[in-house]
Amino acid sequence: MRDPLLCPLDHHGDAETGDGLLDFAVNVFPDARPAWLDEALHAAIGEVAAYPEATRARQAIADAHGRPVDEVLPTAGAAEAFTLVARARPWRRPAVVHPQFTEPHSALLAAGHEVTTVATRPEDGFALDVAAVPDDADLVVVGNPTNPTGVLHPAERLRDLLRPGRVVVVDEAFMDVVPDEPESLLTDRAAGLVVLRSLTKHWSIPGIRAGYLVGHPALVADLARHQTPWSVSTPALAAIEACLTPRALAESLARAVALGTWRDHLARGLAARDVEQVVSAASFVLARPGAGARQALRDRGIAVRRADTFPGLDDSWVRIAVRPPDLADRLLLALDELG
């Protein structure tokens, strides 16, 4: 396990794109926003003369997941939630399961905490080993499905992390890619559990920082006290409402099914070329084409996400965003050229 402090934790996929490159680095759904979402966003512009009011969005979250309103909180994407968690309490031993999205680790460091890294291993398929988490960890952060591995951890295994005096934060930013979300903990009301969601990737609105968290009311209140007033903009609140309607949830499932089909095509192509990969339930695949492959693909006009910024991975790994088969075939042909 590489020292997380030696990894550039603030590196993200958007830094890989540009210069006319074919984008396999950013995990945003590669299609236009639905008309109903654009309509909601445009209508929200008419309300920006007033300060944001989150009441309707909170109710929409509560209704969608069968939770009381005091158990939900809109956030400016999942990233804001990580900062709220980091600042909420004087954590004695926060632990982050790696490799995973680096923002929670970075937020904890920025808040002055010393972070314990819990390593998952490629030889185990990056599966979570609950026994590897220190008994005295009072905060545990884990992604499900995990970015960048795409591993979907069983809900029961995540529940095994819960214990008195510990808060478990499950980042479900990519759970909407999983049809019917069987391993989601959004409706689990365990006292020490916080679940985070993001709407930016699945609905192609990363510029609209829209997300939310759910948890025990005392925990939600702790987090809300550290939230900057009006941090979630009026358009973001409108997006939350729009993306949680029955119509939106049906379209979300259709997007998830399409992504699964595209992912299977990519995985078959990688397997045919004997490229090591991790079985993924997300909108990306972690693959191991070897050191130098990322730059070689870039030289051929294709951007993939470097993986050596994730603790536990080196430069032989890359994360490949799922794209429609015609685009995936261009990536696969470029891999053929690498020999």
Element containing residue 276 per DSSP (H, E): strand 276-277
Tokens of 6: 């030696």
Q: Which residues pair with 139 in a beta bridge?
A: 94, 167
- Give phi and psi for 286, each to the nearest 5: -90, 120
Amino acid at 168: V
Report the distance separating Cα 224 and Cα 320, nearest Å. Answer: 35
What local confidence, expressed as pLDDT, does residue 32 receive?
86
- Computed on alpha carbons and rounded to an integer, the radius of gyration of the chain in Å comes to 19
What local confidence, expressed as pLDDT, does residue 277 receive?
97
Side-chain half-sphere exposure of 147, counting CA atoms within 13 A: 26
Element containing residue 336 per DSSP (H, E): helix 325-338
284: left (phi over 0), alpha (psi -120 to 50) or beta: beta
Q: Nearest-CA neighbor of 130 among 155, 102, 150, 149?
A: 155
Report the distance separating Cα 261 and Cα 271, nearest Å. Answer: 15
Taking only the tens of pLDDT, the chain with its 339 residues reads: 555 555 576 666 556 667 789 999 998 888 889 999 999 999 999 999 999 999 999 999 999 999 999 999 999 999 999 999 999 999 999 999 999 999 999 999 999 999 999 999 999 999 999 999 999 999 999 999 999 999 999 999 999 999 999 999 999 999 999 999 999 999 999 999 999 999 999 989 999 999 999 999 999 999 999 999 999 999 999 999 999 999 999 999 999 999 999 999 999 999 999 999 999 999 999 999 999 999 999 999 999 999 999 999 999 999 999 999 999 999 999 999 986
What local confidence, expressed as pLDDT, does residue 14 receive?
57
Q: Which residues pair with 196 in a beta bridge?
A: 171, 213
274: left (phi over 0), alpha (psi -120 to 50) or beta: left
**Distances from the Cα of 337 to the Cα of 253, 297, 317, angstroms:** 36, 9, 18
Q: Is 113 helix (H, G, I), strand (E, B) or coil?
A: coil
What local confidence, expressed as pLDDT, does residue 9 receive?
67
What local confidence, expressed as pLDDT, does residue 12 receive?
60
117: how many CB neighbours lie within 10 A of its CB?
17
Could you tell me if 104 and 141 are in contact, meaning their C-beta atoms sit under 8 angstroms apart?
yes
Report the distance separating Cα 104 and Cα 142, nearest Å. Answer: 9
